[in-house]
Amino acid sequence: MKKAAMADAQMTRRALLAGMGYTAGALAMASCAGSAPREPDPTAGKLAFDPAVFTQKTATVATAAGDKQVTYHFFGPITYVANPVDADYQSLVISVPTAIDGRVVDATGAPIVFANSVGGYLPASVKDVTGVGEAGRRGPPPPGLPGGEVTPGGNAMVDARGDLVNLAALAVAAGYVAVEPGCRGRTLVTADGVCYGTAPAAVVDLKAAVRYLRSNAATMPGDTDRIVSTGTSAGGALSALLGASGDSPLYAGYLDDLGAADAGDAIYASGAWCPITDLEHADGAYEWNWGANRLSTGGQVDREVSAALGAQFAEYLKAAEIHGLNDFGVLNAANYPDYLLEHSLQPAATTYLTNLTEHDRAGYLAQNPFITWTAGEATFDWAGFVGHVGTRRKTAPAFDAFDLSTAENNLFGAGTVAARHFTGYSAARNTDGAVPLAAGIPELCDLMNPMYHLSRAEAAVAPHWWIRVGTSDTDTSLSVSANLAAAAAAAGASVSHRMYWDEGHGANPDAAEFITWIDRISR
């Protein structure tokens, strides 16, 4: 079984390399990867963690319980592969608490919070990071490349007051070890204009970083069997992908090329906030969810395109046979509104309204008469909810644009081609004339989609999942996170899935609860 999986992985990788224009010689080399008996790991010496090389730091971390004065050891930046393509991005930093409010802390066996700072599938670098929590600070992407808007990264979420939430810093303040990895992203190109950060580079890099930690388990502070990944938006998608695809043979060749450590890359828990994922089905899901709404910039999308994509989502659900949580049954386009209302939306509204003062609650209900408030519970229908959100952020298609203008089009670029289609529907409607879907695109979609891995038995799935999204987040369909939660549960994981009422993209108002959750699952 393992040999068959490795053979399939090599065939997949050959197809991808061919689609990127690699030569026959390169393909021949790729086909040999993993076929010979394993030799002693040549990366072992290069990738050894030195626990004696650190800088002692202090920081004041704002937590729900008040400010914490933290003393910690700061390691890095450390390059986590032996053959980096770009060490500026393929490096990580580690923060290990030694004292909190003057109390000595021993983090030897503490959970490791693996907090990526990816937003918009852009590259993330820690080369200039000098302290815990700095990795979430990013500037805009280079000009002239698709997807100019930057969304919050995994270390730069926003609480209910609009203040930044940094999970790496909160982790250290709780006595956990924080690892902040860099990784390549879609906008990276060589001087000759060749893409080197497009799919699947980001997830391969993050897997390599996990392998670095696990290969150094004997000397690494923290428990490498208790790695908890976090990320938001595209970073949330990558965090979910780490949780879904642990030790998958499909990535073996890419990791071998980088000289990744000879260790596993399965993680213990995945935290994913508003993940932008399941990209090949995301356009249909978006129109099913938000198709009735006008654009936030004004105007309406093409109704024919919206209807066609929405119908695609119904077909996807029919084929996927996703079972809703709490024994809801198989999800389809007709019962999905009831599922979201019962499982997520009405509970979110109830929590929000319960936490208001009686005066403020009365005012909110007066302004939102679509909500019925009875015996401490909020109820409403799907049309009322969608109308309450009101507008949508993205046009149709939302992700695979006909003119190749989205961040996701750029994510699937290859060679000197900066952006490519990743769905047959949009390729056939390309602005400059229909084009065929490039070779290897379906396999690349699989490598970037946690749903693919969760529906198969070729990977080690993280046993614990935390999935969150705001109910007013129109960066993607609410069904994306709901499907992810259901698929993870079906794969045997324990799943905490919740929505934040009236919150948008990048929201994280219950960060303190997440930190407590890590403690609970790690016991």
CATH number of the domain where residue 75 is located: 3.40.50.1820
SS3 (DSSP) at 60: strand
**CA-CA distance, 354 to 376, in Å (whole number)?**
7
Q: Is residue 76 part of a domain?
A: yes
Q: Is residue 399 part of a domain?
A: no
Written as six digits, the tokens of 253 are: 């060749």
Q: Is residue 296 part of a domain?
A: no
**CA-CA distance, 523 to 519, in Å (whole number)?**
6
Which residues lie closer than 8 Å to 458 by C-beta, 6 or more apart? 5, 248, 249, 250
**CA-CA distance, 405 to 199, in Å (whole number)?**
16
Q: Is residue 160 part of a domain?
A: yes
Q: Is residue 62 part of a domain?
A: yes
What is the residue-level pLDDT of the chain in tens, covering all 523 positions?
Answer: 333 443 444 444 334 433 333 222 233 223 222 223 345 555 557 899 999 999 999 999 999 999 999 999 999 999 999 999 999 999 999 999 999 999 999 999 999 999 999 999 999 999 999 999 888 644 444 444 343 333 444 455 666 666 678 999 999 999 999 999 999 999 999 999 999 999 999 999 999 999 999 999 999 999 999 999 999 999 999 999 999 999 999 999 999 999 999 999 999 999 999 999 999 999 999 999 999 999 999 989 999 999 999 999 999 999 999 999 999 999 999 999 999 999 999 999 999 999 999 999 999 999 999 999 999 999 999 999 999 999 999 999 999 999 999 999 999 999 999 999 999 999 999 999 999 999 999 999 999 999 999 999 889 999 999 999 999 999 999 999 999 999 999 999 999 999 999 999 999 999 999 999 999 999 8
- How many structural domains comprise the chain? 1
What pLDDT is stored for residue 245 in this prediction? 98
**CA-CA distance, 66 to 89, in Å (whole number)?**
34
**CA-CA distance, 8 to 14, in Å (whole number)?**
10
Written as six digits, the tokens of 448 are: 């970037």
What pLDDT is stored for residue 209 in this prediction? 98
Written as six digits, the tokens of 369 are: 């008469």
Q: Is residue 293 part of a domain?
A: no
Q: Is residue 352 part of a domain?
A: no
Residue carrying the six token digits 């084009």: 435
- With vertex at residue 126, the alpha carbon angle to CA 124 and CA 127, rounded to the nearest 5 degrees, is 120
The DSSP annotation for 228-295 comes to EEEEETHHHHHHHHHHH-BT-GGGHHHHHHHT--SS----SEEEEES----HHHHHHHHHHHHTTSEE
What pLDDT is stored for residue 5 in this prediction? 43
Which pairs count as long-range contacts for 3-12, CB under 8 Å and 24+ apart, including other chains? 5/249, 5/458, 6/34, 6/35, 6/249, 6/252, 8/249, 8/250, 9/34, 9/248, 9/249, 9/250, 9/251, 9/252, 9/253, 10/34, 10/35, 10/253, 12/250, 12/443, 12/446
User: Which domain does 123 fall in, by range?
Assistant: 55-137+147-273
Nearest CA-CA partner of 296 in 390, 384, 386? 390
Q: Is residue 290 part of a domain?
A: no
Nearest CA-CA partner of 273 in 13, 481, 492, 424? 481
